[in-house]
Every structure is written in structure tokens, then in C-alpha cells.
Amino acid sequence: MRLICFAAILLVASCGLATATATPRVSGAFGTKPVISLPTEPPDREPRVTVLWEGGGRVTQTGDVVVTDVEVRRWEGNKPYMNTYDTRQPATVVLGDGQVPYAWREALAGHAAGSRVMLVGPAGGGAPPGVGPGETLVAVFDILGGYPADARLLGEGLPELPADLRAPGPSRTLIDGSGPVVKAGAKVVVQYVGARWPARTVFDSSRRRGGPRGFTLVPGAVPPGWVEALTGRAVGSRVAVTVPAAKGFTTTGGIGVPGGGPLLYIVDIIDTF
């Protein structure tokens, strides 16, 4: 899962954020992998947030689900740790109470979609593998969007299995949207529910994971059938996606895909980039 695992990268505890002294320089346009240059001075020992570019979209709020690209580097030696630009799979972070550290809420809440924000802080006691607790990490976020946990299509409930659906059949549109059309390889934000067929047993849903999730529509980043079924559909659409039987349980794009029989996903397209 990509929901909260990123939060462990900067597990810091602080009642306030430090003012900038030794500040990294970041270049590159929003949505592209940032180029991060670090100063020769040692970093502060308190976390700090710097808004590098202010976007013009909806302002994220505490409790939102934030879909973001992120580059994380280790201060010492300016060594890369991880990024979502190369993997083409954005991070999905739930800003619920107690679910992410204070500094992450400061970095991701209260900023407009389209903003680039930098967080600098020590790894602390929750340092990820290979990183010492005293090391400083630099994270640059491109905030793609923030969404309420119950984000839904206009006038509709959250996705569920239609009671009158007797057979999965081919993938098809259940509700036509009127927003931007999803392009091949684009990022999408969706609410979804997945069930075994014909048992109709739900095995996964975005509701269980805390709210909408972000994906890149490329093979291997989403469950089988999603790329073909969602490409060309408009934002605001609800799509039934049929997945043939798999040989065994696999994980694709952070979603478990159980084997043993055909699967059916009901997917609501909330946004695209």
C-alpha cells in the first residue's frame, strides 16, 4: 500500500516548524522530477516547510486524502531515497488525525492543488530502512489534489455492486461523466470497489483504504483491464471493469488481485491529470 507507508519516511515529532537557515534549492517545473541542490551548511534539527510554488486549485484540508508526487533525498551526500516520478505511481496520503506526523500535515494541508512544497526534517525514531534516526531528509511534494474521504460523483453514492447486475460481461460505462476525458498514461483519482464473481464477495475498496486513490493508467500500475476500460472515459463516469480469472493472488498498483475466478470492479473517475 502507498497510503501511509510514505509517512514513515519523515516520522518527526514537533510542536512547531523551524525558520529556514540552510535551505535547499529546487529547480524544475511542477509535475516534473525536481532537481534538488543542498547547501554546504548543516541542516536545522527542527522540521520546516517551504512553499516553492503556489497552485490555483482546491486547497487541501486536514482529513483530506491527498494525491501527490514526491521526491525524497538524504541530506548527507544528497543521496536519492525514493521518488514517484520514476515509478509513475503517485502517493496517496490520508491526512486523518494521528495517521501522519505533524510535519507532513503542515506540508500537505492548507495548500492549493498545483503547489510544490518542500519539507526538510530529521528522520527521527521512525526512520525507514537504511536511514539513521539522526539523518535529515528532504521531501519535495507536487500536490496533485486533495479530496474528501467520501469524494463522489455528483448526485451519486460511493461505488457499490449494482443489485441488478446479473453477469459481469465486458467492461462498460454505467454512468456517463461530463468532465475532462482520461488520456492514455494519465494519472487518475478514483473511488472503487472490487468483488469476486459470481460470489459478489467484496475483497477491496477505496472506502476501506480511507478514501479516493491516485493511479497512473499504465500496465502494471493498475489492475488488469483498468487501462483499457478507463482510457477515453470522462471524469464523472462510473465504469464496470471485468477482470478474467487470475492464477494466483497478485498485487498491482497497491491493490490485491485475488486469483481463482473472475473479478468485477466498479470504478468512479473523480479526477485526472
Is the pLDDT at 258 greater than 80, yes or no? no
* Residue bearing cell 492514455: 184
> In this structure, what DSSP letter does residue 6 have?
G
Q: pLDDT at position 193, please?
A: 96
* Residue bearing cell 519523515: 10
Measured CA to CA, the distance from residue 196 to residue 257 in angstroms comes to 10
Q: Residue 102: which H helix or E strand, with range?
A: helix 102-108
What's the predicted TM-score (pTM) here? 0.87
Q: How sure is the predictor about 134, in pLDDT bands with cuts at 50, 70 and 90?
A: confident
Is the pLDDT at 217 greater than 70, yes or no? yes
Torsion over CA: 187, 191, 195, 200 (sign): negative
Q: How sure is the predictor about 224, in pLDDT bands with cuts at 50, 70 and 90?
A: confident
Other beta carbons within 10 angstroms of residue 184's beta carbon come to 11
Q: How sure is the predictor about 19, in pLDDT bands with cuts at 50, 70 and 90?
A: very low
Q: Mean pLDDT across the stretch 202-213?
A: 94
